[in-house]
Amino acid sequence: MTGMQADSDNTEPAEDLVGVPDGFERLWTPHRMAYVKGERPSKDAGEGCPFCAAPHKSDAEGLIVHRGEHCYVVLNLFPYNPGHLLIVPYRHVAAYIDLDDDETAEFTAFTKQAVRALKASSNPAGFNIGMNQGDVAGAGVAAHLHQHIVPRWGGDMNFLPIIGQTKALPVLLEDVRAQLSDVWESAC
């Protein structure tokens, strides 16, 4: 054993236990490591901003649920719950007060339509709706305004986010995007 001996009370050295089943299930989410490490996208408009880049991709590749004239609706790449949507203006602005009247109207209309579409596709019991403006307010991409719409169900929270910094999601993003896209127009 490296630098330590097993206690005289018959405790086995840790290296003897590697690979031995221990009764725990493991949920491996290596794709979240960039988020955990705080590797945030660039604050500049263009290729470095994920919200400027997404509209240039196909809907399926960009996880886009709906496109409008001034804004679009996209699934959060790091969702809190299945169906976690973002309402995003095409224009690279940081603050809600920077939206013009047409952008504000579509931003608001898409928020309402997102709630209707989520109700139609997955029937959540409630919603968290909001914006984090600025780094100190918790915005992951502070330079490009976006509003979160998080569907909530009773019992959707467990110990994983608290002790493991992991969220278990029972549905794949592409499946959620397809479900929401299918009901979007009828959810007006």
Q: Would residue 146 show up in a list of annotated catalytic residues for this protein?
A: yes
What residue ranges do the domains of the chain occupy? 44-187
Residue 85's DSSP bridge partners are: 75, 149
pLDDT for the residue numbered 19:
65
19 φ/ψ sector (left φ>0, alpha ψ -120 to 50, else beta): left
CATH code for the part of the protein at 44-187: 3.30.428.10
Asked if residues 133 and 139 have their Cβ atoms less than 8 Å apart, the reply is yes
Residue 171: pLDDT band by 50, 70, 90 thresholds?
confident
Question: What's the distance, Cα to Cα, between the start and end of the chain in Å?
Answer: 66
pLDDT one-digit tens code per residue, 100-135? 999 999 999 999 999 999 999 999 999 999 999 988
165-182 burial, b at 16+ Cβ within 10 Å, e below that, comes to eebebeeebeebbebbbe
Contact 62, 55 (CB under 8 A): yes
Q: Which of 66, 84, 146, 148 is catalytic?
A: 146
Q: Which of 129, 100, 99 is nearest to 112 (CA)?
A: 129
Contact criterion met (CB below 8 Å) for 88 and 149: no
pTM to 2 decimals? 0.70
Number of CB atoms found within 10 A of residue 141's CB: 20
Q: Per-residue pLDDT for 35 more than 60?
A: no
